[in-house]
Amino acid sequence: MKREKSNYLIQSVSHALDVIEELCKACGEVGVTELSKRLKLHKNNVFRLLATLELRGYVDQNKETEDYRLGVKALQMGQSYLAQSNLVGRATPILKELSEAVGETVSLATLQAGNVQFPLSIESKRPVKVAPRIAVSFPAKMSAAGRLLTAQLPDAMLAEILASNTVQDVAIKTQLGELRSSGQIVDRGAIEADVISICRVVRGNNNEVVGAIEVLAPQYRAKIDALIPKIEEAANQLSTALGASKSAGAVTIEKEVVASAGAQTQLPPGVMATPGTGVSMRNTK
């Protein structure tokens, strides 16, 4: 019987990655004591991890403040990912063309360990725009793209993820049939105030979901009916480039995934107005 990969976890490596990820989140430099509090690790352990990472070039220390920040090796690793990723490589020209066609910010979204990541984001050239998703990740249930991708997960995994029956869980369960059959979600300024988010699933080999294309537009100018066909065309083009067949079928919805939603009260108006992801409107004039 094949063992779960979690059984092979090396704690010291996991803690080192926790340090790197915490520095990624930081707006500036962070000290050993603060990192120790955030990670709930002993200061001596954090110091040894930082010393190792500094020697390898993944973190730098400010000699005056003795605080730490990411090192150049972290940038090199990110650039290597972009160069090696078939998904990003195939998506880049398609998303650039889509952004030019619709005049809005376009991103590629992927799902990883309960978070939605954006390895590629093309910024709108208009003076007033939605800020691009660059070097950010959000809890999947708290973003439109994340909810769409979460809904595509296998039934057993999805049932476990939605077992807590939070407002976000119930929202996904209630929309599950539509999210799976259409492969699309439209959020009209509820998750992110004043922002329209339109997302479409992207498939790869064996028609497995590999991500989603997201278009972000200011609510006042977004023409949803005009945007949807262009987003669908781009998603189909990328899916075909990644090896998906043109007749990818809808995923079957098993009863156990939605059974616990049946006892829930129908979602009231504005239920999608959950805490936002921090995407801001920006005027670059």
Q: What is the dihedral of CA 174, 177, 179, 183, to 10 degrees?
A: 180
Q: What value does the mean pLDDT take over residues 189-208?
A: 92
Tell me what pLDDT residue 2 has: 63
What digits encode the pLDDT tens for the residues 51-107?
Answer: 999 999 999 999 999 999 999 999 999 889 888 999 999 999 999 999 999 999 999
Tell me what pLDDT residue 202 has: 98
Cβ atoms of residues 218 and 130 within 8 Å: yes
Name 112's bridge partners.
115
Q: What is the dihedral of CA 51, 57, 59, 65, to 10 degrees?
A: 70
271 band by pLDDT with thresholds 50, 70 and 90: very low
User: Could you give the CA distance from residue 129 to residue 221 in angstroms, rounded to a whole number?
Assistant: 10
Q: What value does the mean pLDDT take over residues 115-121?
A: 94
Q: Indicate if the pLDDT at residue 265 is higher than 60.
A: no
pTM: 0.78
Tell me what pLDDT residue 189 has: 85
- Percent of the chain exceeding pLDDT 90 equals 71
Tell me what pLDDT residue 254 has: 47
Q: What value does the mean pLDDT take over residues 128-143?
A: 89
255 band by pLDDT with thresholds 50, 70 and 90: very low
Name the residue among 176, 60, 134 with its Cα closest to residue 282. 134
Domains, the chain: 10-76 (1.10.10.10), 85-283 (3.30.450.40)
248 band by pLDDT with thresholds 50, 70 and 90: low
Tell me what pLDDT residue 237 has: 97
User: Could you give the CA distance from residue 264 to residue 245 in angstroms, rounded to a whole number?
Assistant: 37
Residue 176: CA count within 13 A, CB half-sphere = 27
Tell me what pLDDT residue 227 has: 97
